[in-house]
Every structure is written in structure tokens, then in C-alpha cells.
Amino acid sequence: MIEISDVLLGPDVEESVLSVLRSGRLTQGPKVSELEAAFASMCGVRHAVAVNNGTTALVAAFRVLDIGPGDEVIVPAFTFVATANAALETGATVRLVDIDSSDFCIDTGAMSEAVTSRTAAVVPVHLFGHPADLGKIAPFAEEQGLRIVEDAAQAHGASFAGRPVGGFGTGCFSFYATKNLAAGEGGIVTTDDDEVAERLRVLRNQGMRVRYEYEVVGNNYRMTDLAAAVVLPQLARYCQQVERRRANARVLAELLHDLPELALPTVAAERTHVWHQYTVRVLASLSRDELADRLREQGVASGVYYPKPLQQYDCYREHPRVIADPTPTADAVASTCLSLPVHAGLTSTDLTEIAAAVRRALRPPRT
Ligand SMILES: *Cc1c(COP(=O)(O)O)cnc(C)c1O
């Protein structure tokens, strides 16, 4: 089976984890600090604050920006559910808006129409590793006095106009097992704001700067040194890994571009894509689910990210703090999207097989 994701945990990761085990210090310590420094440097920001997962990164970002009850937060309806869950957990209201079919990210027109006097933040999700249109979002947020909380869980190292994502507001990243950088569980918040960074560090550690001196009502959002030790060696070779993903995406595009049954993913101007997923839209009479089944029969895994916009689930549609705008594009994309393997572990034979399997699935030989 050609899998949809792959983690490369080489001897360098084993060595790194062993050094933590041998040190006897399992919780947040020097490895976390090392990861924070390296990650901040990759994102070109002053601070990175590690936390225990990507959802926590979002919750912590909202909390330190004082977003909570009475505030509205604009979120694309087509995203992983964590984006909305984190905002709801703070007591804020989530306003779901449509996406753009060209990049699967928030539709900036829909975003501007969704602003009310209660809007406190916009949450662009850099979905599949492709940055949202920060060239429109950043000046709009500035003009309207809105915070930007970037959901960059899938977009480590992606950039807009030469600037890495995570530096356009408060950046939230995940190190979940299938992400481009994986710890199993882990997350990190990036910011250029010294005060926001300080508040994040205090919030993450039960509201303490000094032990047992509680300054605010905090929580335990800490990352373990074990998790940081898993990520650090991956970060050191991340540039090459992303180059492999890019090369894989180029090969898939070459092998699939002549199929009118598929709309292939594109990279918008001024953006670099880190190809967390290679997501096509199935325009054939064959349904997306049928294509996925036929690929599986041929040994090729694929993924449906995501099957429905959030407001199509009862728990969000009926939620008193969720407002859903009409999302015709998200509806259409959700019913036709399919992600093909693009990860750095693929060989050129794998890529040829993926493309051949897609072709056979869409155009079965007549018997
Ligand atoms: C993975 C992911 C998250 C949440 O990260 P976890 O580490 O799983 O909590 C949030 N948003 C998006 C878009 C994600 O893909």
C-alpha cells in the first residue's frame, strides 16, 4: 500500500530521544527551548512558544489576545474542526465563511462581508500547506482593527511574498503525527510581540512565572522534552523534505495534467506551498468516493480532507455560538476533494503508480 502520510524517524531521532531519556528530564526543558529557538528562526519571528498540541496552540493564542465571550471570530467553513473548536472553547462566537476554490483557503470577499462590530479576529487556515491570501487579509485586518490568528497547523515553512507564515499575526502550528513535522502530539505558537510571548509562557505554565506565584488563571499547556526531541532532527532536515514534497507535486502534475476529470492544485502568486496534502477535485461522473475506492483496490491510499463544511454537522449547525454564512464553494469542494500521497517518503516508482492507478480508475480499460 502507498500510504497517504509517512514519518521519517531515522537514527537521528532515536539518538535525540535517547538523550532525553538518559537525562532523566522528561517534561519541558532544554529540548523545548532548543525547538522554540529553531522554530522562531525558521518563521522569521522573535518568539515561538511550544505547547502540547496544535488545538492548544489556537486556544492559547485566542486567550492571550483576550478573545472570548461576546467576540466573533471569522473561520473558514472548510477546515479541520480544531480551528472552530479552539475558538468555541474560549467562549467566542465562530462565524463560518466560504473558501476560494483556487486555493481552498478563506475567501477574502466573504471574510470582509462577515465583519460586524463584534468581530475580534480572523483565522486564515493555510490549508494543505498553501498560504491563505495574506496580501489581502493582513491589510484588511489592520484597517479594521482585527487580530490575525493564523492556523498554520499544516503549513510549517510556507511563505507569502517571501515572509514565512506564522509571522503575519499569531501563528499556530501542530506537530501531530501526520503533519509535515511530527512529534505524535505537539504544537507551537509564533509571534513577534514580546508581550504576547510572555503571556503565552505564563498561561502555559499554570499562570506562573515564578513557582507558586499565580499571576493569571492558567493551564498546563506544556510540551515535553521527549516530543521536542522527536521534532528537532526533523526540523534540521526539513528544507530537503519540503523540496521532495515539491518535486513530488511537480511529478504528479506532469503525470495528471491532461486528465480533464481532475482539477489539480495550483500555487497562487507570491506563495510557496509546503504540500502537506496534494488535493485534487474530482470533476468526473465517477464520484470522489468511488475514485478513492478504486485507488485503494490498486494499493494507493488517499484521504478526504474534509468531507463536509463544519455547519453541515448538527453539533455546529445547532450550536448557539456558531453563525454560518452560505458556503457554496466549500460545499462543492467538500464533496469533490481527494488528497493523493505527496509525502517525502515516496519513490519515483510510487509516483508513477499513483498516477497510473488514477488513470485506470477514471478510465477503466474496456473488457
Ligand atoms: C492538525 C490541525 C489542527 C490541530 O492540531 P492538533 O495538534 O491535532 O491539535 C488545527 N488546525 C488544522 C487545520 C489542522 O490540520
Q: Is the Cβ–Cβ distance between 152 and 273 less than 8 Å? A: no
Confidence band for 284, pLDDT divided at 50, 70 and 90: confident
Q: What is the pLDDT of residue 367?
A: 67
Mutate to test the pocket of ligand 1, among 99, 174, 276 (most ligand atoms within 8 A of CB): 174
Identify the architecture of domain 239-362 in CATH. Alpha-Beta Complex (3.90)
- At 205 the pLDDT is 98
The pLDDT of residue 7 is 84
From the options 3.40.190.10, 3.40.50.920, 3.40.640.10, 1.10.3720.10, give the CATH code of 11-233.
3.40.640.10
Kindly state the average pLDDT of the residues 94-121: 98
> Of ligand 1's atoms, which has the minimum distance to the CA of residue 154?
15
Q: Is the pLDDT of residue 209 over 90?
A: yes
pLDDT number for residue 167: 98
> In Å, how far from its chain's centre is CA 151?
6
Q: Report the distance separating Cα 201 and Cα 197, nearest Å.
A: 6
Cα 231–Cα 232–Cα 233 angle in degrees, nearest 5: 100
Asked whether 288 and 124 are in contact (CB, 8 A), the reply is no
The domains of the chain are located at 11-233, 239-362
Instruction: Decide if 179 is catalytic.
Output: yes
Ligand 1, pocket residues at CB < 6 Å: 53-55, 79-80, 82-83, 125, 151, 153-154, 174, 176, 187
- How far apart are the C-alpha atoms of 149 and 132, rounded to whole Å? 12
pLDDT digits (tens, 9 = 90+) for 356-365: 999 999 988 7
Q: Backbone phi, then psi, for 127, in 5-degree steps?
A: -70, 140
Q: State the catalytic residue, choosing from 31, 136, 179, 308.
A: 179
pLDDT digits (tens, 9 = 90+) for 21-73: 999 998 999 999 999 999 999 999 999 999 999 999 999 999 999 999 999 99
| 267 burial type by CB count under 10 A (0-12 exposed, 13-18 middle, 19+ buried) | middle
Rounded to two decimals, the pTM is: 0.98
Q: What are phi and psi of 288, to 5 degrees?
A: -55, -45
How many Cβ atoms from other residues are within 10 Å of residue 72's Cβ?
A: 23
Q: What is the mean pLDDT of residues 154-163?
A: 98
Q: Are 148 and 122 in contact (CB under 8 A)?
A: yes
For residues 122 and 150, give the distance between their C-alpha atoms in angstroms, rounded to a whole number.
8
Percent of the chain surpassing pLDDT 70? 100
Q: Which residues face 47 on adjacent strands?
A: 191
Question: What number is the average pLDDT over the span 185-195?
Answer: 98
Contact 35/187 with Cβ under 8 angstroms? no
Report the nearest atom of ligand 1 relative to the CA of 187.
7
Q: How far apart are the first and last CA of the chain?
A: 26
Q: Name the residue at shortest CA distance from atom 14 of ligand 1.
A: 153
Q: pLDDT tens, 228-254?
A: 999 999 999 999 999 999 999 999 999
How many other CB atoms sit within 10 Å of the CB of residue 345? 15
